Amino acid sequence: MKTILVTGACGQIGTDLTGVLRRLHGENTVLATSGGRPPADSVLGTGPFDVLDVTDGEAVDRLVRRSHPDAIYHLAARLSAVGETDPQRAWLVNMGGLYNILEAARAHDVRQLFWPSSIAVFGPDTPRERTPQDTVMRPTTIYGVSKVAGELLCDYYVRRYGLDVRGVRYPGVISSEAPPGGGTTDYAVEMFHAALSSGRYTCFVREDTVLPMIYMPDCLKAALDLMAAESLALQHHNAFNLAAMRFSAGDLAQAITRHVPHFTCTFEPDERQAIADSWPRSLDDTAARREWGWRPDFDLPRMTADMLGRLRARRSTGPD
Ligand code: SER
Protein backbone atom coordinates (compact mmCIF):
# COMPACT_ATOMS: atom_id res chain seq x y z
CA MET A 1 0.00 0.00 0.00
CA LYS A 2 1.39 3.40 -1.02
CA THR A 3 1.41 6.14 1.63
CA ILE A 4 1.54 9.81 0.70
CA LEU A 5 2.18 13.10 2.50
CA VAL A 6 0.80 16.34 1.07
CA THR A 7 1.98 19.75 2.31
CA GLY A 8 -0.05 22.84 1.48
CA ALA A 9 -3.05 20.50 1.30
CA CYS A 10 -5.51 23.34 1.91
CA GLY A 11 -4.21 25.52 -0.90
CA GLN A 12 -5.60 25.81 -4.41
CA ILE A 13 -3.85 22.74 -5.85
CA GLY A 14 -3.55 20.83 -2.57
CA THR A 15 -7.29 20.73 -1.91
CA ASP A 16 -8.06 19.06 -5.25
CA LEU A 17 -4.93 16.93 -5.31
CA THR A 18 -5.58 15.51 -1.83
CA GLY A 19 -9.05 14.44 -2.93
CA VAL A 20 -7.78 12.73 -6.08
CA LEU A 21 -4.92 10.98 -4.27
CA ARG A 22 -7.34 9.70 -1.60
CA ARG A 23 -9.69 8.35 -4.25
CA LEU A 24 -6.77 6.66 -6.04
CA HIS A 25 -4.82 5.24 -3.10
CA GLY A 26 -7.33 5.03 -0.24
CA GLU A 27 -8.43 7.70 2.23
CA ASN A 28 -6.23 6.69 5.14
CA THR A 29 -3.05 6.46 3.10
CA VAL A 30 -2.89 10.19 2.31
CA LEU A 31 -1.85 12.47 5.17
CA ALA A 32 -2.90 16.06 4.39
CA THR A 33 -1.03 18.88 6.15
CA SER A 34 -1.31 22.64 6.24
CA GLY A 35 0.52 25.36 8.12
CA GLY A 36 -1.83 28.22 7.41
CA ARG A 37 -5.23 27.88 5.79
CA PRO A 38 -7.75 25.91 7.85
CA PRO A 39 -8.82 22.69 6.16
CA ALA A 40 -12.01 22.55 4.12
CA ASP A 41 -14.47 19.74 4.88
CA SER A 42 -13.38 18.03 1.67
CA VAL A 43 -9.86 17.64 3.16
CA LEU A 44 -10.68 17.20 6.85
CA GLY A 45 -13.61 14.85 6.41
CA THR A 46 -11.96 12.40 4.01
CA GLY A 47 -8.76 11.29 5.77
CA PRO A 48 -5.97 12.13 8.19
CA PHE A 49 -4.92 15.76 8.70
CA ASP A 50 -2.06 17.37 10.63
CA VAL A 51 -0.85 20.93 11.13
CA LEU A 52 2.67 21.30 9.70
CA ASP A 53 4.78 24.45 9.50
CA VAL A 54 7.25 23.56 6.74
CA THR A 55 9.71 26.21 7.96
CA ASP A 56 10.17 24.18 11.17
CA GLY A 57 12.84 21.64 10.17
CA GLU A 58 12.44 19.51 13.29
CA ALA A 59 8.69 19.29 12.90
CA VAL A 60 9.08 18.30 9.24
CA ASP A 61 11.66 15.65 10.15
CA ARG A 62 9.44 14.27 12.97
CA LEU A 63 6.39 14.05 10.77
CA VAL A 64 8.21 12.38 7.86
CA ARG A 65 9.90 9.92 10.28
CA ARG A 66 6.57 9.07 11.93
CA SER A 67 4.41 8.84 8.80
CA HIS A 68 7.16 7.36 6.60
CA PRO A 69 5.48 8.20 3.28
CA ASP A 70 6.43 6.56 -0.02
CA ALA A 71 5.85 9.90 -1.75
CA ILE A 72 5.57 13.55 -0.77
CA TYR A 73 3.71 16.22 -2.73
CA HIS A 74 5.25 19.41 -1.37
CA LEU A 75 2.93 22.25 -2.35
CA ALA A 76 3.25 24.73 0.54
CA ALA A 77 4.41 28.08 -0.85
CA ARG A 78 3.82 31.81 -0.95
CA LEU A 79 2.80 32.99 -4.41
CA SER A 80 4.10 35.90 -6.45
CA ALA A 81 1.93 38.86 -5.38
CA VAL A 82 1.69 38.03 -1.68
CA GLY A 83 5.42 37.19 -1.74
CA GLU A 84 6.20 40.81 -2.59
CA THR A 85 4.42 42.04 0.56
CA ASP A 86 6.91 40.13 2.74
CA PRO A 87 9.84 38.81 0.68
CA GLN A 88 11.72 37.55 3.76
CA ARG A 89 8.81 35.34 4.79
CA ALA A 90 8.34 34.16 1.18
CA TRP A 91 11.97 33.04 1.02
CA LEU A 92 11.68 31.27 4.35
CA VAL A 93 8.54 29.37 3.37
CA ASN A 94 9.49 28.63 -0.24
CA MET A 95 13.21 27.84 0.12
CA GLY A 96 13.42 26.93 3.81
CA GLY A 97 10.36 24.72 3.44
CA LEU A 98 11.72 22.98 0.36
CA TYR A 99 15.11 22.41 1.99
CA ASN A 100 13.45 20.88 5.08
CA ILE A 101 11.33 18.56 2.94
CA LEU A 102 14.30 17.50 0.77
CA GLU A 103 16.41 16.78 3.85
CA ALA A 104 13.65 14.78 5.55
CA ALA A 105 13.00 12.85 2.32
CA ARG A 106 16.70 12.03 2.04
CA ALA A 107 17.07 11.06 5.69
CA HIS A 108 13.98 8.82 5.78
CA ASP A 109 14.23 7.18 2.36
CA VAL A 110 11.14 8.70 0.81
CA ARG A 111 10.85 7.12 -2.63
CA GLN A 112 9.47 10.10 -4.59
CA LEU A 113 8.94 13.83 -4.19
CA PHE A 114 6.76 16.12 -6.30
CA TRP A 115 7.55 19.82 -6.12
CA PRO A 116 5.90 22.34 -8.43
CA SER A 117 7.83 25.16 -10.00
CA SER A 118 6.17 27.95 -11.96
CA ILE A 119 6.27 30.22 -15.01
CA ALA A 120 7.49 32.76 -12.44
CA VAL A 121 11.04 31.40 -12.90
CA PHE A 122 11.19 33.45 -16.09
CA GLY A 123 11.79 37.17 -16.30
CA PRO A 124 11.88 40.11 -18.69
CA ASP A 125 15.02 38.79 -20.45
CA THR A 126 13.41 35.46 -21.33
CA PRO A 127 11.86 34.98 -24.80
CA ARG A 128 8.14 35.46 -24.13
CA GLU A 129 6.62 33.44 -26.98
CA ARG A 130 7.04 29.66 -26.92
CA THR A 131 9.46 30.07 -24.03
CA PRO A 132 11.95 27.20 -24.32
CA GLN A 133 12.44 24.56 -21.63
CA ASP A 134 16.04 25.58 -21.09
CA THR A 135 16.50 29.34 -21.39
CA VAL A 136 17.34 32.57 -19.54
CA MET A 137 15.91 32.58 -15.99
CA ARG A 138 16.29 35.95 -14.32
CA PRO A 139 12.98 36.56 -12.50
CA THR A 140 12.12 39.84 -10.79
CA THR A 141 9.90 38.53 -7.94
CA ILE A 142 11.04 36.80 -4.76
CA TYR A 143 8.62 33.99 -5.66
CA GLY A 144 10.41 33.54 -9.00
CA VAL A 145 13.83 33.74 -7.36
CA SER A 146 12.84 31.06 -4.85
CA LYS A 147 11.47 28.85 -7.63
CA VAL A 148 14.69 29.11 -9.70
CA ALA A 149 16.78 28.31 -6.62
CA GLY A 150 14.36 25.48 -5.79
CA GLU A 151 14.68 23.97 -9.26
CA LEU A 152 18.46 23.95 -8.90
CA LEU A 153 18.28 22.49 -5.40
CA CYS A 154 15.94 19.71 -6.55
CA ASP A 155 18.24 18.87 -9.45
CA TYR A 156 21.12 18.77 -6.97
CA TYR A 157 19.32 16.23 -4.76
CA VAL A 158 18.57 14.09 -7.80
CA ARG A 159 22.24 14.09 -8.84
CA ARG A 160 23.91 14.02 -5.43
CA TYR A 161 21.59 11.73 -3.46
CA GLY A 162 19.61 9.90 -6.14
CA LEU A 163 16.37 11.27 -4.66
CA ASP A 164 13.55 10.91 -7.20
CA VAL A 165 12.34 14.53 -7.28
CA ARG A 166 9.95 15.48 -10.06
CA GLY A 167 8.11 18.65 -10.97
CA VAL A 168 6.55 20.91 -13.55
CA ARG A 169 6.43 24.66 -14.12
CA TYR A 170 2.77 25.42 -13.64
CA PRO A 171 1.17 28.25 -15.58
CA GLY A 172 -1.66 30.15 -13.83
CA VAL A 173 -4.02 27.56 -12.38
CA ILE A 174 -7.80 27.95 -12.78
CA SER A 175 -10.03 25.96 -10.44
CA SER A 176 -13.49 25.97 -8.90
CA GLU A 177 -12.77 24.43 -5.48
CA ALA A 178 -10.23 26.28 -3.26
CA PRO A 179 -9.27 29.86 -4.19
CA PRO A 180 -5.70 30.72 -5.18
CA GLY A 181 -3.86 32.68 -2.53
CA GLY A 182 -2.12 35.82 -3.63
CA GLY A 183 -0.86 35.05 -7.12
CA THR A 184 -0.62 37.32 -10.16
CA THR A 185 -2.87 34.99 -12.16
CA ASP A 186 -5.67 35.07 -9.54
CA TYR A 187 -7.78 37.36 -11.76
CA ALA A 188 -8.57 34.39 -13.99
CA VAL A 189 -10.36 32.66 -11.08
CA GLU A 190 -11.83 35.81 -9.52
CA MET A 191 -13.47 36.74 -12.84
CA PHE A 192 -15.62 33.58 -12.80
CA HIS A 193 -16.80 34.09 -9.22
CA ALA A 194 -17.58 37.77 -9.84
CA ALA A 195 -19.48 36.99 -13.06
CA LEU A 196 -21.85 34.74 -11.14
CA SER A 197 -22.16 36.80 -7.96
CA SER A 198 -22.34 40.48 -8.99
CA GLY A 199 -22.04 40.27 -12.79
CA ARG A 200 -19.17 42.78 -12.61
CA TYR A 201 -15.41 42.49 -12.22
CA THR A 202 -12.54 44.96 -12.12
CA CYS A 203 -9.53 43.11 -13.46
CA PHE A 204 -6.12 44.08 -12.07
CA VAL A 205 -4.23 43.50 -15.33
CA ARG A 206 -4.70 45.12 -18.76
CA GLU A 207 -7.22 43.64 -21.18
CA ASP A 208 -4.43 42.64 -23.62
CA THR A 209 -2.39 40.80 -20.96
CA VAL A 210 -1.72 37.30 -22.27
CA LEU A 211 -0.55 34.59 -19.87
CA PRO A 212 -0.39 30.80 -20.06
CA MET A 213 -3.01 29.06 -17.93
CA ILE A 214 -4.05 25.53 -17.03
CA TYR A 215 -7.35 24.11 -15.75
CA MET A 216 -7.29 22.06 -12.55
CA PRO A 217 -8.07 18.63 -14.10
CA ASP A 218 -5.03 19.09 -16.40
CA CYS A 219 -2.97 20.44 -13.49
CA LEU A 220 -3.67 17.25 -11.51
CA LYS A 221 -3.19 14.99 -14.51
CA ALA A 222 0.26 16.49 -15.07
CA ALA A 223 1.35 15.78 -11.48
CA LEU A 224 0.03 12.22 -11.48
CA ASP A 225 1.31 11.31 -14.96
CA LEU A 226 4.76 12.70 -14.25
CA MET A 227 4.96 10.81 -10.94
CA ALA A 228 3.93 7.59 -12.72
CA ALA A 229 6.37 8.04 -15.62
CA GLU A 230 9.15 5.56 -16.20
CA SER A 231 12.22 7.06 -14.52
CA LEU A 232 14.57 6.07 -17.31
CA ALA A 233 12.52 8.05 -19.84
CA LEU A 234 13.08 11.30 -17.94
CA GLN A 235 15.95 13.54 -18.88
CA HIS A 236 14.72 16.56 -16.94
CA HIS A 237 13.04 15.15 -13.78
CA ASN A 238 12.17 18.66 -12.63
CA ALA A 239 10.70 21.85 -13.87
CA PHE A 240 9.01 20.70 -17.08
CA ASN A 241 7.37 23.52 -19.04
CA LEU A 242 3.63 22.78 -19.36
CA ALA A 243 1.49 24.40 -22.03
CA ALA A 244 -2.29 24.06 -21.86
CA MET A 245 -4.06 27.32 -22.80
CA ARG A 246 -3.05 30.91 -23.44
CA PHE A 247 -5.42 33.83 -23.62
CA SER A 248 -5.67 37.51 -22.78
CA ALA A 249 -7.68 38.80 -19.82
CA GLY A 250 -10.05 40.30 -22.41
CA ASP A 251 -10.45 36.92 -24.18
CA LEU A 252 -11.41 35.35 -20.86
CA ALA A 253 -13.98 38.05 -20.11
CA GLN A 254 -15.50 37.48 -23.58
CA ALA A 255 -15.57 33.70 -23.10
CA ILE A 256 -17.45 34.18 -19.81
CA THR A 257 -19.84 36.70 -21.38
CA ARG A 258 -20.93 34.03 -23.88
CA HIS A 259 -22.41 32.13 -20.91
CA VAL A 260 -23.26 35.10 -18.64
CA PRO A 261 -24.50 37.78 -21.08
CA HIS A 262 -24.94 40.53 -18.47
CA PHE A 263 -21.30 40.18 -17.25
CA THR A 264 -19.19 43.32 -17.57
CA CYS A 265 -15.46 43.49 -16.96
CA THR A 266 -13.36 46.63 -16.60
CA PHE A 267 -9.58 46.73 -16.45
CA GLU A 268 -7.59 48.72 -13.88
CA PRO A 269 -4.01 47.47 -13.78
CA ASP A 270 -2.19 47.65 -10.44
CA GLU A 271 1.33 46.62 -9.35
CA ARG A 272 0.67 43.03 -10.45
CA GLN A 273 0.74 44.18 -14.09
CA ALA A 274 4.54 44.50 -13.98
CA ILE A 275 4.82 40.91 -12.75
CA ALA A 276 2.48 39.66 -15.49
CA ASP A 277 4.48 41.59 -18.11
CA SER A 278 7.68 39.83 -17.02
CA TRP A 279 6.27 36.33 -17.59
CA PRO A 280 5.93 34.23 -20.77
CA ARG A 281 2.88 34.53 -23.02
CA SER A 282 3.20 30.92 -24.18
CA LEU A 283 5.46 27.95 -23.47
CA ASP A 284 7.28 25.29 -25.45
CA ASP A 285 6.44 22.05 -23.64
CA THR A 286 8.07 19.64 -26.09
CA ALA A 287 10.17 18.05 -23.32
CA ALA A 288 7.08 17.15 -21.23
CA ARG A 289 5.28 15.79 -24.30
CA ARG A 290 8.28 13.76 -25.39
CA GLU A 291 9.56 12.48 -22.04
CA TRP A 292 6.30 11.52 -20.32
CA GLY A 293 3.50 12.01 -22.82
CA TRP A 294 1.99 15.28 -21.52
CA ARG A 295 -1.22 16.33 -23.32
CA PRO A 296 -3.79 18.77 -21.92
CA ASP A 297 -7.52 18.15 -22.31
CA PHE A 298 -8.93 21.65 -21.76
CA ASP A 299 -8.90 24.72 -23.98
CA LEU A 300 -10.52 28.09 -23.19
CA PRO A 301 -14.10 27.30 -24.33
CA ARG A 302 -14.19 23.89 -22.66
CA MET A 303 -12.65 25.16 -19.42
CA THR A 304 -15.05 28.13 -19.29
CA ALA A 305 -18.14 25.94 -19.71
CA ASP A 306 -16.91 23.44 -17.12
CA MET A 307 -15.93 26.11 -14.56
CA LEU A 308 -19.26 27.88 -14.82
CA GLY A 309 -21.13 24.57 -14.57
CA ARG A 310 -19.29 23.64 -11.39
CA LEU A 311 -19.61 27.07 -9.77
CA ARG A 312 -23.33 27.24 -10.60
CA ALA A 313 -23.87 23.78 -9.12
CA ARG A 314 -22.06 24.85 -5.94
CA ARG A 315 -24.07 28.07 -5.70
CA SER A 316 -27.33 26.18 -5.97
CA THR A 317 -26.38 23.89 -3.07
CA GLY A 318 -24.80 26.38 -0.66
CA PRO A 319 -23.11 29.74 -0.15
CA ASP A 320 -20.31 30.65 -2.61
N1 SER B 1 -0.07 31.41 -10.22
C2 SER B 1 1.20 31.83 -9.73
C3 SER B 1 1.20 33.25 -9.34
O4 SER B 1 0.46 33.99 -9.95
C5 SER B 1 2.27 31.58 -10.76
O6 SER B 1 2.81 30.34 -10.52
O7 SER B 1 1.93 33.64 -8.49
Quick one: 105 and 235 in the same domain?
A: yes
What pLDDT is attached to residue 46?
Answer: 87
Q: Is 201 a catalytic residue?
A: no
Q: Per the domain annotation, does 117 fall within a domain?
A: yes
Give yes or no for residue 320 having a pLDDT over 70.
Answer: no
Quick one: 140 and 208 in the same domain?
A: no
Pocket test for ligand 1, best of 143, 151, 204, 209 (most atoms within 8 A of CB): 143
- Among 121, 128, 212, smallest CA distance to 167 is for 121
What pLDDT is attached to residue 41?
Answer: 81
Quick one: 86 and 178 in the same domain?
A: no
Q: Per the domain annotation, does 287 fall within a domain?
A: no
Q: Per the domain annotation, does 257 fall within a domain?
A: yes
Q: Per the domain annotation, does 45 fall within a domain?
A: yes
How far apart CA 47 and CA 68 sit, in angstroms, is 16
For the segment 300-313, the average pLDDT, to the nearest whole number, is: 98
- Residues 157-205 have pLDDT tens digits of 999 999 999 999 999 999 999 888 899 999 999 999 999 999 999 999 9
Quick one: 189 and 147 in the same domain?
A: no
Quick one: 62 and 193 in the same domain?
A: no
Nearest CA to ligand 1 atom 2: 183
CATH of the domain at 230: 3.40.50.720
Mean per-residue pLDDT of the chain: 96
Quick one: 131 and 202 in the same domain?
A: no
- Residues 268-299 have pLDDT tens digits of 999 999 999 999 999 999 999 999 999 999 99
Centroid of ligand 1 to alpha carbon of 80 (angstroms):
6
> Which candidate in 73, 99, 143, 157 is catalytic?
143
pLDDT band at 319 (very low <50, low <70, confident <90, very high): low
Q: Per the domain annotation, does 132 fall within a domain?
A: yes
Quick one: 208 and 222 in the same domain?
A: no
Q: Per the domain annotation, does 235 fall within a domain?
A: yes
What pLDDT is attached to residue 224?
Answer: 98
How many structural domains are present in the chain?
A: 2
- Is the pTM higher than 0.75? yes
What pLDDT is attached to residue 261?
Answer: 98
185 lines ligand 1 (CB under 6 A): yes
134 contact partners, CB below 8 Å, separation of at least 6 = none
Give yes or no for residue 234 having a pLDDT over 60.
Answer: yes
**Percent of the chain surpassing pLDDT 90:** 91
116 lines ligand 1 (CB under 6 A): no
Quick one: 233 and 251 in the same domain?
A: no
Q: Per the domain annotation, does 290 fall within a domain?
A: no
- Residues 141-155 have pLDDT tens digits of 999 999 999 999 999
Strand-pair partners of 131 = 283
Bridge-based pairing of strands 210-215 and 245-248 is antiparallel
Quick one: 64 and 199 in the same domain?
A: no
Quick one: 203 and 223 in the same domain?
A: no
Which domain does 200 fall in, by range? 173-213+245-281+296-317
- Among 203, 84, 89, 59, smallest CA distance to 142 is for 84
Quick one: 164 and 24 in the same domain?
A: yes
Nearest CA to ligand 1 atom 1: 172
Centroid of ligand 1 to alpha carbon of 119 (angstroms):
7
What pLDDT is attached to residue 85?
Answer: 97
Q: Per the domain annotation, does 291 fall within a domain?
A: no
- Residues 17-64 have pLDDT tens digits of 999 999 999 989 999 999 977 888 878 888 999 999 999 999 999 999
Nearest CA to ligand 1 atom 6: 118
- Residues 74-120 have pLDDT tens digits of 999 999 999 999 999 999 999 999 999 999 999 999 999 999 999 99
Bridge-based pairing of strands 264-267 and 200-203 is parallel
Q: Taking the chain, what is the end-to-end CA distance rounded to the nearest angstrom?
A: 37
Quick one: 53 and 96 in the same domain?
A: yes
How far apart CA 173 and CA 272 sit, in angstroms, is 16
CATH of the domain at 260: 3.90.25
Centroid of ligand 1 to alpha carbon of 215 (angstroms):
13
